[in-house]
Amino acid sequence: MAVTQRAWRALGTGVVVLTTQAEGAGPAARAVARVLAEVDATYSRFREDSELSRVNRQSGKPVRVGPLLYRAVTEALRASRLTGGAVDPTVGATLRLIGYDKDFSLIDQGGGPLGLAARPIPGWQLVQLSPASQGISVPRGVELDLGSTGKALAADLAAAEAMAAAGSGGVLVSLGGDIAVAGEPPEGGWRVLAAEDSAVPPTNQGQTVTIIAGGLATSSITVRRWRRGEQLYHHILDPATGLPVASPWRTATVYAASCLDANIAATAAIVLGSRALPWLEANGLDARLVAIDGSVIRSGRWPADRPAEPVTVSQAGAADDDAMEEPGDLRR
Amino acid sequence: MAQTPPISPRGRDRALGMLRHLTVGAGAAAALATAGLGVLAAATHPGTTATASASSSKSSTPTTSGTSSGAVQASPQAPSSASSGSGQATSGGS
């Protein structure tokens, strides 16, 4: 079965859409672009006109929001609850303080030292949701960031929309390495390279697994790093200190029932550090952890690495962007 | 010791009727109090809420299954070592 690929950039990261039916490739890619445009306009922390920025600006009072932001915040709080606060959306102001205050490609890589002291982040328990009025309220000075769970939720939503648009067969959507699949997988399943950097080609050396449903996500402190003075920063924060987490793991990849849940678990694994393996096992999750020294630890049913094998995959129409109309509008 | 006068059949029926009313009233009050406390808790408890499904909105964005449960949901299927399969994607940090 030939698989058709479309690829472009949106939400500050790479987007890949694979379809098993060639005729579904264009409609699926357009559907994904529509979802990502809506996501960008709704909960980008870097857009002044996004709904999320409005909530952050109006901290201290309830703000009525649309269904997508309400859902995204609800899911982010669920992630906090399920991980004991290891994944927490109240990191917005802290991310800004450590220099992640704009799209990553625009971050000042050569700035002076920040001299920050450890200070816990405000905490997800402070976020108030009002189901009746669909309102969100955060205390004065607290800012939300949905970067972690928001992207994975977008992948799940985009895959569902893409599948509906394609009409038959199956689809895979990857947003910067957060992968969601829907519909009928290709024979043998979808091949996914478990890497540390989502920018590497899927034909690179490394462990490749096949999945047939749900989602697979990776969190890593080896990417999205920047330097201020002598200090190296990355984007995964320890809620207890408000500083980039010092984890025994540099990368965590998790396969779960949805991309969102895979992402929640992958990010939590990095933050939980030495407590990650018992937590993953307790939740019955299949995961691959890469320690700081490069050694690999597996959890659940994650398969052992196999020797590298030749790639025999046929990809028709790779990087064929002819059908794309929106991607240029999605950059931030 | 003073003897309690016998209750007439009419008096007994009246007493039973009052008891019935009291029981029904207490039940209704308990149900109302439970509902009221539930609404109050849902409106004020921080960080937890019923899920707001996008399907009930005007948004074009659909809902997905399995994202609103009370636990991180493992996949029913295990990932397999790739000896076959189609399509290629990379999962990694970004």
The pLDDT value recorded for residue A233 is 73
Test B59 with A1 for CB contact under 8 angstroms. Answer: no
CA proximity to B81, closest of A9, A255, A11, A127: A255
- Domain membership of residue B40 (yes or no) is yes
The pLDDT value recorded for residue A109 is 66
Name the 3-class secondary structure at A188.
Answer: coil
Pairing mode, strands B86-93 and A170-175: unpaired
**Cα gap B74→B76, rounded to integer Å:** 6
Domains in chain B, number: 1
User: What b/e sequence results for B63-76 when a residue is b if at least 16 CB atoms lie within 10 Å of its CB, and e otherwise?
Assistant: bbebbbeeebbbbe
Chosen for mutation from B39, B65, B75 (greatest number of chain A CBs closer than 10 Å) is: B75
CB A328 within 8 A of CB A16: no
Residues of A in contact with B56 (CB under 8 A): 67
B25–chain A nearest CA distance, Å:
29
CA distances in angstroms from A95 to A45, A49, A103, A143, A203, listed in the order given = 11, 19, 12, 10, 34
Test B60 with A1 for CB contact under 8 angstroms. Answer: no
Which 8-state DSSP code applies to residue A111? P
Test B61 with A218 for CB contact under 8 angstroms. Answer: no
pTM metric for this prediction: 0.77
CB A221 within 8 A of CB A183: no
Residues of chain B with pLDDT under 70: 1-12, 15-17, 19, 21-69
Tell me how far apart the terminal alpha carbons of chain A are, to the nearest angstrom. 36
> Which residue in this structure is represented by tokens 């490069």?
A294
A229–chain B nearest CA distance, Å:
23
Residues of chain A with pLDDT under 50: 310-332
- Residue A42's Cβ-count burial label (10 Å; 0-12, 13-18, 19+) is buried
The pLDDT value recorded for residue B23 is 65
Pairing mode, strands B86-93 and A190-197: parallel
Of A195, A201, A261, the CB nearest to B73: A261
Chain segment A264-276, per-residue pLDDT in tens: 999 999 999 999 9
- Domain membership of residue B6 (yes or no) is no
Test B94 with A284 for CB contact under 8 angstroms. Answer: no
- Domain membership of residue B66 (yes or no) is no
The pLDDT value recorded for residue A315 is 38
DSSP structure string for A133-180: TTEEE--TT-----HHHHHHHHHHHHHHHHHHHH-SSEEEEEETTEEE
A114–chain B nearest CA distance, Å:
24
Name the 3-class secondary structure at A205.
Answer: coil
Test B47 with A128 for CB contact under 8 angstroms. Answer: yes
What residue numbers bound the domain in which B34 lies?
11-44
Residue A43 is encoded by which pair of tokens? 């909960």
- Domain membership of residue B61 (yes or no) is no
The pLDDT value recorded for residue B66 is 42
Indicate the residue type of A199.
A
The pLDDT value recorded for residue B2 is 46
Of B47, B57, B74, the CB nearest to A77: B47
The pLDDT value recorded for residue B85 is 79
- Domain membership of residue B82 (yes or no) is no
Domains of chain A as residue ranges with CATH = 3-312 (3.10.520.10)
- Domain membership of residue B23 (yes or no) is yes
Pairing mode, strands A249-256 and A286-291: antiparallel
Of A125, A134, A313, the CB nearest to B88: A313
Helix (H) or strand (E) holding A182: strand A178-183
- Domain membership of residue B39 (yes or no) is yes
Pairing mode, strands A3-10 and A315-316: parallel
The pLDDT value recorded for residue B53 is 31
- Domain membership of residue B18 (yes or no) is yes
The pLDDT value recorded for residue A154 is 98
The pLDDT value recorded for residue A275 is 96
CA proximity to A10, closest of A178, A164, A145, A166: A178
